[in-house]
């Protein structure tokens, strides 16, 4: 993907800028959405509106679950990196005192003396 300073851009497939990869990329980006819309309109014209609705709903739920799963994996990786394999995240102060994060409360606070 190339983005120019005027926010226009060009998307190319990997490899040569011509050939079957570029044809497939152009088809997926320009022709396929038009054909999909034409197919849904044809089904709606024959009172078959439920089929594309259910297919789109299933695809949206699948995308939602994928995003949630990927976000959960990323957060879990951050948690593991933060805790460095310990059972619970802790805060270590200069005096060497470790305080579990689970004991911190926004209402009570944590009174530390220097």
Q: Residue 106 — very low, low, confident or very high, per pLDDT cuts 50/70/90?
A: low
Per the model's pLDDT, the better-predicted residue between 33 and 76 turns out to be: 33
Cα–Cα distance measured from residue 43 to residue 54, given in angstroms and rounded to the nearest whole number: 13
pLDDT tens digits, 33-51: 899 889 888 888 888 888 8
Quote the DSSP letter at residue 113: -
CA distances from 43 to 40, 52, 53 (A): 5, 8, 10
Lowest average pLDDT, out of 16-25, 36-45, 53-62, 96-105, goes to 96-105
Compute the mean pLDDT over every residue in the chain, rounded to the nearest whole number: 74
């Amino acid at each position: 993907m190339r983005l120019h300073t005027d926010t226009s851009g060009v998307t190319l497939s990997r490899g040569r800028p011509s050939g079957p990869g570029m044809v497939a990329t152009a088809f997926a980006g320009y022709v396929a959405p038009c054909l999909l819309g034409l197919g849904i309109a044809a089904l709606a014209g024959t009172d078959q509106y439920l089929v594309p609705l259910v297919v789109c709903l299933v695809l949206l739920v699948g995308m939602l679950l994928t995003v949630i799963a990927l976000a959960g994996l990323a957060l879990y990786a951050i948690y593991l990196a933060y805790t460095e394999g310990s059972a619970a995240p802790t805060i270590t102060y200069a005096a060497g005192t470790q305080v579990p994060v689970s004991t911190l409360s926004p209402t009570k606070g944590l009174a530390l003396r220097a």
